Amino acid sequence: MLQLKFFIFVVVFLPVINNLKLLKVRNYYDPGNCAKDNHGELILVKDRENKDAVVICTEDEGTHSWKTTEGSRPPGEYFNPGYDCLDILTKNEKAKDGYYWVDFHRSVPYKVWCDMSTDGGGYMLMGRMNDSWSSAFGDISILDFRVQVAADKEYKQIKAHWSFRFKNKRPLKKLMMVNEGGCPYNLPGIGDISYVKNLMTEEISSTDFSCSVFGAYSHPSAMIGWTRMNSCLREECPYGFAYHHVIPIQVDFSGGFSFLAANNSGTTDGTTAFFGCDKGKCCACYGPVGGSGVYCGKECKAKNGGTVTKDAHAWFWVRLNPPQKVWEKCMEYRTEEENGDAAWYKLIGNRNTPVKGRCGKSEPILNDGIVVVPDNVTHNKVPQITGLLAYQKDVEVLHLRKNDAWKVMAEEEKVNAF
């Protein structure tokens, strides 16, 4: 009987073993070519988060492509790169901040960090501090340029945050301009600005800010200052814009990014926020959150209650197109902290954890659903969110949160009528 059982086992399972295809393992992102010759092939690769993932070569109406074993083609993976971060977000509205593969319609994908949440999302990180820039974006035409200044390396303590929307898209390698776009002949900088948005308040702070001055003028042939900055956005710049393009010697001591929350050029009286160097003085300068005054003067000197610090960090972002106009699900409420101070919190999208802050003031927001509570005790624990509906089951009453108080919308007989 033992021999008979062994014989049956071999006869039944041996054909299956002979037809198995071995799983190929690659310790990188590219699964290689997917065509008729390797249709059905399984490859173990690294996904965009550098985790192991199995993909399979599939065929659909004559077209071969790599897919996950679940049959999907997630946008932003190496085998299915997006055009840019915004393209990925458009295809997957639930995409979160992180690394993704993009190709800008080129032959080879490029891995970038995408911000999918700030100001509609779709931003690509292209630089940090004043000395680390990605030249991969130089030929890409951008619409938005964004500066994020923090007091810590983890960027949890944001002190200043703003973006420029350009009147006309232009290649990143032509970010700096002079004698055009509102920048005078002797003060090159970021010009052709349609408006400035203060992302600390999520409000447009200026529609007539003509030029974010970068530094003093130098002739393009000198290859220093603003010209060198553009060069660093076009080709690899290992030492930074302030250094000679051949010898690692610092030749420039000015270069910064700033904005003014008023309808002025910001070239003489100062700015609302600043990050960079001015005549050898390097710092970050900013005012109070929501402030719209002039807080930063020349050579890193504070004005009107502004704050100047040398211990600061900056990230620089670009976006190629405007984000889709969608209603964001956002609910805000005010509560009391442990120390007795009042604070605002908000619930964004489908997230269950509230974060400190308020929903955007200039965009429509969508409150999701109706809160159903069993009794008055539970009703009193409902977050005080303006516009929220709460139905109390024990008395069959529908409430609306309005003007910091609950208003009865419908009583028992009216609710039952629905």
Rounded-to-integer distance, Cα 291 and Cα 268, Å: 19
**286 and 412 co-located in one domain:** no
Structural domain contains residue 284: yes
Structural domain contains residue 13: no
pLDDT of 159 reads 94
**105 and 214 co-located in one domain:** no
Paired strand residues for 226: none
- CB under 8 Å to 345, separation ≥6 — which residues? 332, 333, 334, 335, 354, 355, 356, 357, 383
Identify residue 193 by its one-letter amino acid code: I
Q: Is 80 exposed, middle or buried (0-12, 13-18, 19+ CB in 10 A)?
A: buried
Structural domain contains residue 237: yes
**285 and 194 co-located in one domain:** yes
* Domain containing residue 404: 369-417
Can you tell me whether residue 347 is helix, strand or coil?
A: strand
pLDDT per residue rounded down to tens, the chain (418 residues): 444 444 444 444 434 434 445 788 988 999 999 999 999 999 999 999 999 999 999 999 999 999 999 999 999 999 999 999 999 999 998 999 999 999 999 989 999 999 999 999 999 999 887 556 777 888 999 999 999 999 988 888 999 999 999 999 999 999 999 999 999 999 999 999 999 999 999 899 999 888 999 988 888 887 778 888 888 888 888 777 877 777 888 888 889 999 998 754 444 578 999 999 999 999 999 999 888 899 999 999 999 999 999 989 999 999 999 987 555 677 777 887 878 888 888 877 666 678 888 876 655 555 656 788 888 887 787 777 777 788 888 888 888 887 778 888 765 454 444 4
pLDDT of 236 reads 81
**93 and 206 co-located in one domain:** no
pLDDT of 7 reads 40
If one counts every other C-beta atom within 10 angstroms of the C-beta of residue 124, the result is 25
Structural domain contains residue 54: yes
Structural domain contains residue 301: yes
Structural domain contains residue 199: yes
Rounded-to-integer distance, Cα 321 and Cα 305, Å: 36
Rounded-to-integer distance, Cα 133 and Cα 32, Å: 30
Structural domain contains residue 283: yes
Burial letters for 210-247: b for 16+ Cβ neighbours within 10 Å, e otherwise? bbbbbbbbbeeeebbbbbbbbbbbbeebeebbbbebee
CATH code (residue 45): 3.30.750.130
Number of domains present in the structure of the chain: 4
Place of tokens 């009391």: 336
**171 and 293 co-located in one domain:** yes
**341 and 409 co-located in one domain:** no
pLDDT of 5 reads 44
CA end-to-end span of the chain, whole Å?
73
Structural domain contains residue 18: no
Please answer whether residues 353 and 325 qualify as being in contact, where contact means their C-beta atoms are separated by less than 8 angstroms: no
Rounded-to-integer distance, Cα 115 and Cα 323, Å: 12
Paired strand residues for 284: 275, 309
Which of 61, 94, 117 terminates a domain? The answer is 117
If one counts every other C-beta atom within 10 angstroms of the C-beta of residue 205, the result is 20
pTM: predicted TM-score of the whole model, two decimal places: 0.74
**272 and 385 co-located in one domain:** no
Rounded-to-integer distance, Cα 295 and Cα 406, Å: 41
pLDDT of 369 reads 62
**309 and 167 co-located in one domain:** yes
